[in-house]
């Protein structure tokens, strides 16, 4: 999450500079909202996971669809190209980050193609729809097995497991990116 927040700060400052905007707290808050919005899919995942035996919480991680619909909605609400670009940049930053963090990949080209693209472990992997489905079925079986070992009747992931899946590295590179982002944001604020 720290990486996404850092990317949101960098996107906000870059796009604001590009559009000649000064620091505005609401625009910064909107940038943070835009970069974190795709993570809210777990709010749908939790109540639907048992009914549909869902393994992945990436329910609206279809970048072409998400960005197209979202940019249209943002434009209809704001009428401003600045906010559309802010939304698009933050959304794409989130999806690129997820492509590196997700073993089963994201379906970047959906609905035109259902292949999944992953850069997990810094290795390019392309999965057909069938391979992705088999991967997720295997994950589902792993969750069931793990639940049995823990003595749980519920074979699905817990809320804690789902949320902890969202916690990524807080290593030196992540902290360095956060510091650079905060510094750049602070400089932009002082300039405004």
Does position 165 have pLDDT exceeding 70, yes or no?
no
pLDDT at 189: 96
Q: How confident is the model at residue 154 (pLDDT cuts 50, 70, 90)?
A: low
What is the predicted pLDDT for the residue at 164?
61
DSSP of 79-113: --HHHHHHHHHHHHHHHHHHHHH-TT-B-TTTTT-
pLDDT in tens, 71-114: 999 999 999 999 999 999 999 999 998 888 888 888 899 889 99
Give the domain ranges of the chain. Answer: 2-191
* Residues 23-37 pLDDT 10s: 999 999 999 999 999
Cα separation, 107 vs 89, whole angstroms:
18
Distance CA 55, CA 52 (A): 9
Say if residues 22 and 192 touch (Cβ distance below 8 Å). Answer: yes
Four-point Cα dihedral 12, 124, 66, 175, nearest 10 = -30
Q: Which residue would you say has higher pLDDT here, 137 or 99?
A: 99
Residue 102, pLDDT score:
81
pLDDT in tens, 7-17: 999 999 999 99
């Amino acid at each position: 999450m720290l990486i996404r927040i850092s990317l949101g700060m960098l996107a906000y400052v870059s796009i604001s500079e590009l559009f000649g905007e000064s620091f505005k707290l609401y625009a910064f808050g909107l940038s943070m909202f835009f970069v974190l919005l795709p993570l809210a899919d777990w709010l749908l995942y939790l109540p639907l996971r048992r009914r549909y035996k869902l393994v992945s919480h990436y329910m609206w991680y279809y970048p072409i669809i998400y960005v197209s619909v979202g940019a249209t909605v943002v434009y209809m609400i704001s009428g401003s190209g600045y906010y559309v670009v802010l939304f698009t940049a933050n959304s794409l930053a989130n999806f690129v980050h997820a492509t590196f963090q997700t073993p089963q990949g994201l379906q970047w080209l959906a609905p035109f193609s259902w292949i999944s693209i992953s850069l997990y472990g810094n290795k390019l992997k392309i999965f057909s729809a069938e391979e992705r489905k088999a991967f997720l079925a295997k994950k589902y079986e792993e969750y069931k097995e793990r639940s049995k070992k823990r003595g749980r009747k519920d074979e699905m992931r817990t809320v804690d497991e789902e949320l902890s899946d969202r916690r990524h590295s807080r290593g030196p590179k992540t902290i360095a990116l956060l510091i650079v982002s905060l510094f750049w944001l602070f400089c932009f604020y002082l300039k405004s």
